[in-house]
């Protein structure tokens, strides 16, 4: 049984393969080599793999993704409909996501950017105290990432709501379910955090019509996928003042092109798709466990429902 390992991570593939191989002694793991020859792999372990992987490795029977989002895989030719695609579940990412949300939110709500510019002028001037009721947070997507963020922010006494298809209920978090509740969710939200998977139902969801329903002085935090956000609509709403700022980790084109207007916009903070990294050790441990379960024929968690796209 052969496994093909193909990852766009910056690190040497063997930094992943060697420990994974140690946990899976009965299989042979081969690094992807771009020489046009199939190795006859039955399993693929991937992160943003080369576009031709499934056209070349036509015997693949299961795919294990070294990340939470699987949208990029479904754009690749040759991935068969009946092949299970298994994603990472948390693996250390939800804590990073929660940190990111706290950082982005408190910079705005506690006026840390203003204090930074006051420091540049050696100005000692306390600004008005925070009024948390003026910073209602709305988390789109209440899965592994969104639920952790919502709980952490509710624990800091912000008014927090979560919106998802099924309307997941968590203590201290107001639940909104489905399309019918979307407008009510937006209308009570000032800080909108997107953690949705990218699917045909969610692509372009952060658009003019959505963002203008938020409370005035809105703030957008996008940590999911760039294609969720209509970039020119954000620029227009920033120009109008309805949206006061945005912290963005993901973009339609990554790396973000050097001449993109987001780089120099004073209201936009950019990070290079690092809100939550797949931590190597945790990811390898989890993927090895999942592959061992798959090989034994045991039930697996994290299997993507192909008809929903996540």
The number of beta carbons lying within 10 Å of the beta carbon of residue 115 is: 15
> Rule CB under 6 A: is residue 249 a binding residue for ligand NDP?
yes
Q: Which of 42, 110, 208, 273 is catalytic?
A: 273
Is 273 one of the catalytic residues? yes
d(CA 290, CA 43): 12
Q: What dihedral do alpha carbons 188, 194, 198, 201 form, nearest 10°?
A: 0
d(CA 94, CA 105): 16
When binding is defined by CB under 6 A, the residue of 68, 149, 218, 230 that contacts ligand OXD is 68
List CB contacts of 200: < 8 A, sequence separation 6 or more: 309
CB of 187 to ligand OXD, least distance (A): 29
When binding is defined by CB under 6 A, the residue of 174, 278, 283, 286 that contacts ligand OXD is 278
CB of 99 to ligand OXD, least distance (A): 15
When binding is defined by CB under 6 A, the residue of 21, 109, 164, 227 that contacts ligand NDP is 164
> Rule CB under 6 A: is residue 192 a binding residue for ligand NDP?
no
Size of the site for ligand NDP (CB under 6 A): 29
Footprint on residues 87-146 left by ligand NDP (CB under 6 A): 93, 141-146
* 76 and 54 Cβ atoms separated by less than 8 Å: yes
d(CA 96, CA 98): 5
Token pair of 242, please? 């309805």
Footprint on residues 28-47 left by ligand NDP (CB under 6 A): none
d(CA 84, CA 42): 12
Q: Name the site residues for ligand OXD (rule: CB under 6 A).
A: 67-69, 278
Q: Name the site residues for ligand NDP (rule: CB under 6 A).
A: 68-69, 93, 141-146, 164-166, 168, 195-199, 201-202, 223-225, 249-250, 273, 275-276, 310
| Residues designated as active site | 225, 273
């Amino acid at each position: 049984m052969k496994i093909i390992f193909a990852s766009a991570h910056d690190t040497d593939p063997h930094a992943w393969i060697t420990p994974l191989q140690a946990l899976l002694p009965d299989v042979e793991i081969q690094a992807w080599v771009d020489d046009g020859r199939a190795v006859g792999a039955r399993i693929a372990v991937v992160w943003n793999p080369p576009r031709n992987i499934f056209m070349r490795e036509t015997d693949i029977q299961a795919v294990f993704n070294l990340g939470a989002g699987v949208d990029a895989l479904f754009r690749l030719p040759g991935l068969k409909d009946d092949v299970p695609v298994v994603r990472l579940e948390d693996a250390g990412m939800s804590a990073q996501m929660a940190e990111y949300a706290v950082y982005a939110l408190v910079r705005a709500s506690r006026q840390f950017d203003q204090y930074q510019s006051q420091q540049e002028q050696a100005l000692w001037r306390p600004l008005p105290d925070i009024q948390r009721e003026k910073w209602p947070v709305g988390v789109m997507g209440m899965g592994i990432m969104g639920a952790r963020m919502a709980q952490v922010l509710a624990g800091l006494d912000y008014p927090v709501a979560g919106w998802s298809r099924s309307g997941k209920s968590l203590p201290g978090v107001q639940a909104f379910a489905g399309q019918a509740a979307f407008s009510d969710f937006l209308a009570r939200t000032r800080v909108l955090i997107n953690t949705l998977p990218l699917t045909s139902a969610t692509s372009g969801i952060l658009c003019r019509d959505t963002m203008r329903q938020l409370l005035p002085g809105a703030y957008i935090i996008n940590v999911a996928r760039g294609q969720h956000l209509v970039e020119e609509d954000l620029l227009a709403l920033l120009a109008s003042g309805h949206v006061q700022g945005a912290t963005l980790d993901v973009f339609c084109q990554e790396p973000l092109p050097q001449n993109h207007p987001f780089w120099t916009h004073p209201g936009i903070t950019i990070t290079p798709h690092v809100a939550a990294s797949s931590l190597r050790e945790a990811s390898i441990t989890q993927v090895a466990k999942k592959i061992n379960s798959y090989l034994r024929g045991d039930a697996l968690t994290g299997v993507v429902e192909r008809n929903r796209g996540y």
